[in-house]
Amino acid sequence: MFKILKKEYLAPTICLMDIEAPRIARHALPGQFVIVRVDEGGERIPLTICDYDAEKGTVQIVFQVVGGETFRMQKLEEGDSFLDFVGPLGVPSDLTELTPEELREKKICFIAGGVGTAPVYCQLKWLKKNGVDVDCILGARTKDIIVLEDAMREVSNLYVCTDDGSYGIHGNVCVALQQLWDEGKRYDRVIAIGPMIMMKFVCALTKELGVETIVSMNPIMVDGTGMCGACRLVVDGKVKFACVDGPEFDGHKVDFDQAMKRMKQYATEEGRLYLAAKEGDTHHGGCGSCG
């Protein structure tokens, strides 16, 4: 059992929890995720790691209540426990493979939207710990649903934007990035994590600007092990599975239109049957052992 040590609402439907999970905390790296399950009857929910503390043995998650299982999760209180809390899973950010000296030579801008702010924070904190100064654009539809702003300011040069202009730069994250670019900011890499449509348009802009862009395809994960086939996507013309090959990929090589269309189809039983017939052997297979 994995005890909930802290629970906090960041917004009406967005919840933060610190979970007692010492083994995961010792091995976690930015970009990875965990799978949680409330109880024997619960569904497996993959969530990217927001923070971890090896000394305290804790892992922090942030989730939005969007369905029955996340509704059950937010009903848990401090002192309650998850039956399963598995990880760390997925491939860590490739930034973790570079030396602090190599990292300091890069000009990086992170773009965070919605609950994608959580995994962005994890990477920002890790970079700050390694002495790397980076910019970050934090976007939301309106001021009331901005999350982790103070924490993000502590670990980055933060620029906040809102679609309705209620706070910060008036416009979406692409407007904010273009504004920074017009002001003379130049980046070697952009890392965008958030809703699929946001990442798609960020990639369209950065392709015009000629900036390498990494995206996290965690929004399409369901099972988290490659066996369900939900996170199948096409990257540079090749079939990949977000949970075992990612979740981070070169955004300019991701077929976002195919991925978003597939997400809608996969949501229904009839759609899953159609995709299974259409995709054949590549419908599953991300784990390498599901036949």
Q: Block means of pLDDT (10 residues each) for the chain, length 291 residues?
A: 95 93 96 92 89 96 88 94 92 92 94 92 95 96 92 97 95 97 96 94 97 85 59 85 84 89 60 53 50 34
Residues contacting 198, CB < 8 A, separation 6+: 111, 113, 114, 116, 139, 172, 173, 192
Alpha carbon distance 209, 152 (integer Å): 25
Coil, helix or strand for 98?
A: coil
Q: First and final CA of the chain: distance in angstroms?
A: 32
CB 233 within 8 A of CB 259: yes
pLDDT at residue 213, as a whole number: 97
pLDDT at residue 289, as a whole number: 37
Q: Is the dihedral of CA 232, 192, 197, 268 positive or negative?
A: positive
Alpha carbon distance 20, 154 (integer Å): 24
Beta bridge partners of 214: 191, 250
* Domains identified in the chain and CATH numbers: 2-89 (2.40.30.10), 94-216 (3.40.50.80)
**Residue with token string 């670990």:** 155
pLDDT at residue 204, as a whole number: 97
CB 232 within 8 A of CB 241: yes
Q: Cis (ω within 30 of 0) for the bond into 219?
A: no
Query: Which of 9, 5, 287 shows the shortest CA–CA distance to 144?
Result: 9
| Predicted model pTM | 0.86
Query: Which of 195, 175, 290 shows the shortest CA–CA distance to 244?
Result: 290
Alpha helix segments (H runs only) across 34-90: 68-75
